[in-house]
Amino acid sequence: MGILAFLAAATLFAWSLRYVGDGAGFGQILSRLSFFGLALLLPAMLLAAVLGARTYRVENRLGKRAGTLVGAVVGWTSFFALSWLAVALGLQGRDELFRPVLFASLGESVSFYLFVPLALLATGLVVYALYSRKADFDVRRHLMFAGAGVTALAGLLVLLTGFDLLGIAGVLVSTLSGAAGGWVSGIGYARAGGDAMIPPGSTIRPRPPRRKHQ
């Protein structure tokens, strides 16, 4: 559901670019985000199943906040990652999807070599924060914010390689769409594992009886 929400939000946010200039930016950004979302559909379902089986339940509000942050991090990083791959593999010359190339100056800067290790470090921090059952809440929160900070740095290094208006618009759309998808995923995160994953020391509050409409 989170990926579907990501795609729906991307379409909504990118629609504002439909009437900017010749409207080509709308197709460029939406096609890239659709490619990313569809490519992640099955892996995301698998990761969601693992997350639900390994992670203790949290309060609904906390799950939504954590999901929104993770979604924003994924949306921010994914757009830069697609741009990095296009430059690294020269996809703009072989695939219509990656024309025009975004952040074209990236391949000539040191940021090209720094982006991958920073993105991998951020991914490791976020994944450990989500899937580790040994870490308590404070450790998870610190790891999550650390991962978000490293991700922000990796993206800013790419932005500093040269001003690219279409690329900046794409990053904003991707980040907002990722946050929306993450918010939806956070609802499921709050219910991960059902009653079998209630944290130690917690109690299950009985659900009040439904009121009968007369």
Burial class for 194, CB neighbours closer than 10 Å (0-12, 13-18, 19+): exposed
Tally of CB atoms within 10 A around 116: 13
pLDDT at 39: 67
Residue found under tokens 């025009």: 100
Give whole-number Cα distances, 36 to 42, 152, 190, in Å.
Answer: 12, 19, 25
What would the pLDDT profile of 96-134 be if each residue is shown by its tens digit? 667 777 888 888 889 999 999 999 999 899 888 877 777
pLDDT at 120: 94
What would the pLDDT profile of 71-86 be if each residue is shown by its tens digit? 899 889 988 988 888 8
Query: Model pTM greater than 0.95?
Result: no
Name the stretches of the chain with pLDDT < 70. Answer: 2, 7, 19-27, 36-58, 92-97, 188-214
pLDDT at 178: 86
- Could you give the residue ranges of the DSSP H alpha helices within 20-164? 24-54, 60-89, 111-131, 137-159
